Structure 1
Amino acid sequence: MLKLIGMLPFFLLLAACGQSEAEKAKSAAAMTEIRSQRMAREFVTGVLKDPGSAEFRDQRGFCGQVNSKNSFGGYVGFKRFIAASTDMVVFEKDGRLSSSEFEQAWSKLCH
């Protein structure tokens, strides 16, 4: 079993050699998307009251929707977010941006 695990990197490298440039680019884009989503989740959970309760959906890069528990232990419902950094996480209707400003940012950054 350990032999098989040790040979796994070799097989992955061998499989990568057979990819076309288009497949490599598609794979790289998919990895970039995964990294962006992970970072955004970290940024968002860093500002939530109960980070362990966070549920994400419809996420694309640094944008998406999150539902989490409030101080009373109840879920607040899904809200859209834009997470640019640990210091810049904006939620829909959180008062930091007007509705029209949030919509403009959402349409520019999240579509």
Structure 2
Amino acid sequence: MKKVLIIALLVGLTGCGKSEAEKARHVSEMKELRYNQMAEEFVKSHLKDPDSAQFRGQQGFCGEVNSKNSFGAYTGFKKFIAADKNMIVMEDDLSPQEFQKVWDGVCK
């Protein structure tokens, strides 16, 4: 009986340290997912065919999107920064140098 109590106590103490770290990691992951979802919604609202949107490489409000144009063809992945539903900057909205400067300042 004492062995069971000692093992339970050790497992409980070991779990305490991890649970705080796990909670912090979970909160961070949930925040990242929420930012990704918001960015996707913002970007989709500006696309010709939002249902065709494919996202990759997202980190918060930055990432890449590929979607269909007016002719029904995919345009290829383009970087975006979506800070707000009214403040979306796509890679081809600025010169390559200007966009890279903004990308480096916001997304890295």
Is 2:101 the partner of 1:104?
A: yes
Spell out the pairing of 1:1-111 with structure 2 (5 A cutoff).
Answer: 20-94=19-93, 97-111=94-108
Give the root-mean-square deviation of aligned CA atoms.
1.5
Measure how far apart 1:98 and its partner are: 2.7
Measure how far apart 1:110 and its partner are: 1.2
Compute the TM-score of the two structures, normalised by the length of structure 1.
0.78
Compute the TM-score of the two structures, normalised by the length of structure 2.
0.80
Which AA in structure 2 matches 1:25?
A: A
Measure how far apart 1:78 and its partner are: 0.4
Which AA in structure 2 matches 1:49?
A: K
Greater helix share, structure number: 2
Separation (CA, whole Å) in 1 of partners of 2:101 and 2:70: 30
Identity %: 57
Pairs aligned (count)? 93
In the alignment, structure 2 segments of 5+ residues that lack a partner are 1-14
Please state whether the residue corresponding to 1:20 is helix, strand or coil: helix
Measure how far apart 1:22 and its partner are: 1.7
Who wins on radius of gyration, i.e. which is larger? 2
